[in-house]
Structure 1
């Protein structure tokens, strides 16, 4: 039981937890809608076929409450994460319509956060299995070796102008190199992620790999996977996010400044001073400099990063235009 009494998660783990729950809440609302609307399930695991429907409805309600409790900063995060992950697995394994590899990976990470005891080994093994599994699927597909997959992928699916402009229609040389490079990169990531001393290399290589594919395809290829892998890299990063102490007489202002904090590491310290002050470690800033420290803190940067990606995935036009304008610069080459 001591496992479930441990709520002292490091800030970077808390950010990953909340980012994963945001993904479930905004990108896969079907988990809640299908479960409570009475729509029929399409079971492909016979043992789950015998589970009464009300169990899924109840589980979906528990999942929603668990997610809300985390964002309200209530309850035991590890227990709520474990419950959320197990419920998601139950629901998606009972429905072909809801099943997806990405959502399954999210559920697995949530379960592992529930069992986190200070070592990142469990996360590393999960990430390694993901990459090695993906690489093995490609290894036995000849279209990844002869260039047909990438050529069709870039020309007919995503219409990558950079590729179409410089690569002749019947020339599969570049596509072949890209296919082989993808397989080798996934194999390499699946190995180096298991070595704690190569964590920085793993994260840099992984972000370049997934980010590069996003840039080339103008932000349309697997944004979801880029988002999920960013959370998984954060889990193994060991990033030291220092507590930010906000000092201001107004509790309302302090709560507003704490709102974007996904790490629960921005705290309010009561004071009679009318001016804003921020303390990080042994250093203190006041006024504009204090506000700058908050706005450029890890807490705010991660909030902006994950929320912008979520906004892009749910097609909120204002954020989508911002992101696509950045990705679109590569189309002119």
Structure 2
């Protein structure tokens, strides 16, 4: 906290430390990756005007909430004040579990109070924040695993019970008529009527049900997470539609499954060629978890990462350094938002840049060894 000097001033080091708290993730009652998820979710929702969407009850899911309309603006401004306070506390690492619980509760309550505010992506964010507040830094975030499974289970069952999904009518109406998607229209003309629509419908239903089941098992969880990323990115590529901020919300929730080591990251590098890389990561490493040292000049590797469980070299090491640096993801969302603002009136250009950016990140981080090892 900021402390006063005897002359009435403030210690500048304490001020600077407080200002950098939004970029610090260690030392709280939440896992660093779960805290990262929470911070990114509130940034995303606030950027999408969540604060201003909170209003007095309007066609509430619970009719009793209409009582607040007898006192105009009390409900609205009370929830807005609580939302702003809890978001501030979460971003600045003040009672983070309580802040996540309160923020999630406000989002859920505002949705319950006004049916027009109900969107899957907003509700998922509220639930994720609420469940994150119920976790701790001692156990894996099981509640978030169950939430993700429930989301896909509900989505698949909802589709299984709809005849229009089995007949392909929904997919054809959505992509063919509503969206006029050129890829869908082109492929559909090459095949018998509704065949392509049925194929896409069945793939969506089966995929979502498989995800709901496989995410529950530790052995298949990592593969399932990658499957989720590729599935939704492919869907975005095909439709150029983000479903509100569902895709961003989902990507952020997946960060809760990162396993950031608790101990220091020991990094060795070729100083002459990689000094800018060290400066970049040192700038992002607000928690001071990385210790950098020089690699001997005769060493054949240019980068080495040592943790308690493993030692990695070169690009494999670089990938994990990125993943274990929470502010790398803060930078990614900042880049995405900046692209959206700058290219808002140039949607085609924005879509192309998004595709290049997202697929480049995916292909780089895929756990696949693209280069074949040379025979010794």
Residue from 318, 331, 350 that aligns with 1:304: 331
Corresponding residue for residue 107 of structure 1 = 126
Q: CA RMSD in A?
A: 3.7
CA distance in 2, matches of 1:211, 1:258: 31
User: Cα gap change, 1:124/1:164 in structure 2, threshold over 3 Å: closer, same or farther?
Assistant: same
Is 2:150 the partner of 1:133? Answer: no
Which of 232, 235, 238 is the matching residue for 1:216? 238
Gaps of 5+ in 2: 1-26, 267-279, 292-303, 308-317, 358-376
| Aligned counterparts, 1:276-295, within 5 A | none
Instruction: Trace 1:131-280 onto structure 2 (pairs within 5 A).
Output: 131-168=152-189, 171-217=193-239, 219-222=240-243, 224-240=245-261, 265-266=287-288
Cα 1:26–1:151, aligned 2, differ >3 Å: closer, same or farther?
same
1:86 matched to 2:105? The reply is: yes
Aligned residue in 2 for 1:287: none
CA distance in 1, matches of 2:201, 2:263: 41
- Name which one, 1 or 2, has greater alpha-carbon Rg: 2
Residues 1:16 and 2:41 aligned together: no
Question: Deviation at 1:268?
Answer: 10
**Residue in 1 that maps onto 2:89:** 69
Give the secondary-structure state (helix, strand or coil) at the position aligned to 1:41.
coil
Aligned to 2:62: 45
8 Å CA contact 1:227, 1:309 repeated in 2: no
Unaligned runs of 5+ in 1: 1-5, 246-255, 270-278, 283-292
**How many residues in Structure 1 have an aligned counterpart in Structure 2?**
292
- Structure 1 pair 280–328 and aligned structure 2 pair: CA distance change class (3 A): closer
Compute the displacement of 1:280 (Å). Answer: 7.9
Question: Would the aligned equivalents of 2:175 and 2:181 in 1 still touch at CA under 8 Å?
Answer: yes
Separation in 1, partners of 2:149, 2:46: 26
Cα separation, partners in 2 of 1:99 and 1:243, compared to 1, 3 Å: farther
Query: CA distance change for structure 1 residues 97 and 204 in 2, over 3 Å: closer, same or farther?
Result: same
Partner Cα separation in structure 2 for residue 91 and residue 167 of structure 1: 42
Q: Distance in 1 between matches of 2:355 and 2:79?
A: 39
| Match in the other structure for 1:54 | 74
Aligned residue number for residue 252 of structure 1: none
Partner Cα distance (1:302, 1:209) in 2:
20
TM-score (normalizing by structure 1): 0.74
Deviation for aligned residue 1:82: 0.6
Q: Are 1:32 and 2:57 matched, yes or no?
A: no
| CA separation of 1:214 and 1:151: change in aligned 2, threshold 3 A | same
Confirm or deny: 8 A CA contact 2:152 2:208 kept in the other structure: yes
CA distance in 2, matches of 1:105, 1:58: 23
Cα distance change, pair 302–178 in 1 and its aligned pair in 2 (3 A): same
SS in 2 for 1:50: helix
In 2: Cα distance, 1:268 partner to 1:208 partner: 30
Q: Which has the higher contact order (CA 8 A, sep 6+)?
A: 1
Deviation at 1:241, TM superposition (A): 7.9
How far off is 1:194 after superposition?
A: 0.9
CA contact (8 A) 1:16 1:235 kept: yes
1:317 to 2:343 alignment: yes
